[in-house]
Amino acid sequence: MTSDLVIDVHGLNKSFGHKHVIRDFALQVRRGEIYGFLGPNGSGKTTSIRMICGLLKPDSGYGTCLGYDVLKEAASIKRDVGYMTQRFSLWEDLTIRENLEFIARMYGMKDIKRVVSDTLGQLGLTSRHDQLAGSLSGGWKQRLALASCMLHQPRLLLLDEPTAGVDPQARRDFWEEIHALAASGISVLVSTHYMDEAERCHRLAYIAYGKLLASGTPDEVLHLFRLSTWAVSGASAQLAALAVTLRRFPDVQHITAFGNTLHVTGEDEQALERAIEPFRADPALSWRRAETSLEDVFIHLMAGAPDNYQ
């Protein structure tokens, strides 16, 4: 294994009953890297994360996490990993400090008062240390959950949709903290549905129906396909009718609404232009070439993915 790889897994599989949830999954994450993990609900992101961090044993495959064998040394992996779940799972009738001190005791840590105080300071929680966790807003609960993951100074953070349900400012503050942690050498694997968060990652992986479909830097993923995109703006009723019509054209792969604008995407630039040409003469519609976005790419990936529920 290359020395700077903190995650290096290959061919991981997991089934629940007759359902093959994860199929031949492979992933490599380097030290100090923020790796974004994307995919629709039910795609297998959480299952993959749990296999990597030792919470769930793969049916087959091999690899290491933090130098430990993912099949044989799960307990050792868990000691060096901070795992933040989708839902807030701390005790709402305890204060911020009481929550952290309780978790520190569970880890069997020494000098608990100092460790908790240092963590409170690092994540900007000192002024709220005596506030009940149940009274915190979503953003502050998120910060407390991150603090609980950092108490034992993990080398790897696994964050499962950590910013779901928090306001934009809290999301921005959270990502600034994540980048600071990565700069200190901590590796971060984060699952998200937000495209602006995907663009903040050093590398991305996209999973659908249990299979890894694409990976690379945001720019590499953006250019996986030679997609051509046009944006058309107009009245909402007119755009809705236009979308219905354009979906009948085989050279129009995807139509996505963004407010009063549609993104019309195809793989063949010239064929797409021929398809939309009759509609560009309509004075009520405003057409322009658009940059293909990560969201356009992911929608294209998803459209070509076989559904393992069928």
> What SS3 class is residue 310?
coil
Question: What integer pLDDT is reported at residue 43 of this predicted model?
Answer: 81
Tokens of 7: 């995650």
Instruction: List the chain domain ranges.
Output: 5-217, 228-291
Question: What integer pLDDT is reported at residue 252 of this predicted model?
Answer: 94
Do residues 115 and 109 make contact, with C-beta atoms less than 8 angstroms apart? yes
Question: What integer pLDDT is reported at residue 97 of this predicted model?
Answer: 95
Cα atoms in the 13 Å half-sphere on the side-chain side of 26: 7
Question: What integer pLDDT is reported at residue 303 of this predicted model?
Answer: 73
Nearest to 36 by CA among 178, 230, 177: 178
Q: What is the pLDDT of residues 250-305, one digit of tens each?
A: 999 989 898 899 999 999 999 999 999 999 999 999 999 998 888 888 888 877 65
Burial of 310 (0-12, 13-18, 19+ CB in 10 A): exposed
Q: Where are the alpha helices (DSSP H) in the chain?
A: 45-52, 74-79, 96-106, 112-122, 138-150, 168-183, 195-198, 218-222, 236-246, 269-280, 294-303
pTM, to two decimals: 0.84
The CA–CA distances, whole Å, from 133 to 97, 115, 158, 172, 203 equal 9, 19, 22, 21, 33
Question: What integer pLDDT is reported at residue 277 of this predicted model?
Answer: 95
Tokens 């040394």 -> residue: 73
Please give, one letter per residue, the 3-state secondary structure of 87-156.
CCCCCCCCEHHHHHHHHHHHCCCCCHHHHHHHHHHHCCCHHHCCCEHHHCCHHHHHHHHHHHHHCCCCCE
Arch. (CATH architecture) of 5-217: 3-Layer(aba) Sandwich (3.40)
Please, which residues have CB within 8 angstroms of residue 299's CB and are 6 or more apart in sequence?
Answer: 254, 256, 265
Positions of the chain with pLDDT under 50: 1-2, 308-310
Question: Do 5-217 and 228-291 show the same overall fold?
Answer: no
Question: What integer pLDDT is reported at residue 305 of this predicted model?
Answer: 59
Nearest to 286 by CA among 270, 251, 262: 262
Please give, one letter per residue, the 3-state secondary structure of 156-173.
EEEEECCCCCCCHHHHHH
Question: What integer pLDDT is reported at residue 165 of this predicted model?
Answer: 75
Q: Give the CATH fold of the 228-291 domain.
A: Alpha-Beta Plaits (3.30.70)
